[in-house]
A = this chain, B = another copy of it.
Amino acid sequence: MRINEWGENSFVHYLAEQFPCSGPFVGIGDDCAVIPADESHSWLVTTDALAEGIHFLLEQIPARDLGYKTVAVNVSDICAMGGIPQFAFLSIAMPRDLPCTWLCDFMQGVRDACDKWDLQLLGGDTLGSKRDLFINLTLIGHIKSTTIKYRHTAQTGDVICVTNNLGDSAGGFKAMSDHIPTSEDIDYLTCAHFRPEPALQQSLWLAAHTSVHAMMDISDGLNCDLMRILKSSRKGAVIETTQLPISVPLARVASLYDWNTLELALTGGEDYCLLLTVGAENFESIRNNFLNTFRSPLFAIGHVTSHHEELSYQNHGKPFTMPYTNFDHFLTSK
């Protein structure tokens, strides 16, 4: 069997079995590992890699945006559990004919992101690469241990929410790939793809609420990532597709070029907003306070059921079969 037949989820499952976690630690299977620091605080550690030809094309993404995005996707993982990102470690394998100006622009993007989230780049590794560029970032954050949000804690009846529009980043990527001429709407989508904005303040606010039960970030698409919460929590879910938040620019571009916004929202990925489940009895108050605090809505898109790993969709309350395929890093290249 080859890697592409095995698939990423199966491999991660295999790893979690091969390297079981002992002691007071959380290991493979959530957005971050959790290492207790003292009686009341923990360290969160996440690592994300980006490969040329899979996650990005050098001729498409400006170097500075790639540097920024490398940090942002890891910040998003720390936000996913409610923590504060703090220390970064960057490895970069570079083909030897890479221009130094490219590298300096890339590092400027890393610095933009470090400045934005008050991170310190404390180390890393630089090496040559035969052909493709490869980047890895490890990010360490801290958190009050009682406020850590996991994937395995969704409860039957919880309201499922997202904190931002879905599909914008995938739309930006599609616009680029299809060579669609630039416009204000297209720029908005491309920016969502190049410069994701993990919501650190929203994440800290949500983590402080005990009625927020499960939380993660959306990196591989709502369909794929929600299934991860459901598997971990041994629950099911019903999603109402008409409730999925689609931005006005995406809706406009989609109507112009006959794109399927639902497919982009469910499987596009790289949204880097939060996906969470909230106890139904507290949902109204949390939604109102969230809106008052951030002037941006918490979008309710469905609810958690007791049907183990059963993720179903509705359209205006009627059953809807999801016909799209998830993105798999082992199968697909960008």
Contact = CB atoms under 8 A, between A and B. Distances in A.
Interface of A: 1-6, 8, 11-12, 15, 18-19, 21-23, 25-28, 32-33, 35, 37-38, 43, 45-55, 87, 89, 91, 93-100, 103, 107, 111, 114, 120-132, 134, 136, 138, 140, 329-333
Given A123-B45, A129-B132, A132-B132, A3 B103 contact: yes
A333 B130 contact: yes
- Total copies of this chain within the assembly: 2
A93 to B, nearest CB: 5
29 contacts: A3-B95, A3-B96, A3-B97, A4-B128, A6-B100, A15-B107, A19-B114, A19-B120, A23-B120, A27-B121, A28-B121, A38-B38, A43-B43, A45-B123, A46-B123, A47-B123, A48-B91, A48-B125, A50-B127, A51-B129, A52-B130, A54-B127, A54-B129, A91-B136, A127-B329, A128-B332, A128-B333, A132-B134, A136-B136
Nearest to A28: B123
Contact of A96 (B19, B46, B107, B330): B330
User: Nearest 5 A-B pairs (CB), nearest first?
Assistant: A53-B130, A33-B122, A4-B96, A136-B136, A49-B91
Question: Chain B CB within 10 Å — which of A1, A123, A130 has the most?
Answer: A123
Nearest to A129: B51
A100 B3 CA distance: 6
B125 A49 contact: yes
A35 B87 contact: yes
A103 B38 CA distance: 36
Contacts of A49: 91, 93, 125, 127, 134, 136
Contacts of A99: 1-3
Nearest to A5: B100
A90 to B, nearest CB: 8
A122 B25 contact: yes
A53 B111 CA distance: 30
Contacts of A27: 120-123
A136 B134 CA distance: 10
A230 B45 CA distance: 33
Given A53-B130, A123-B27, A132-B130, A97 B4 contact: yes
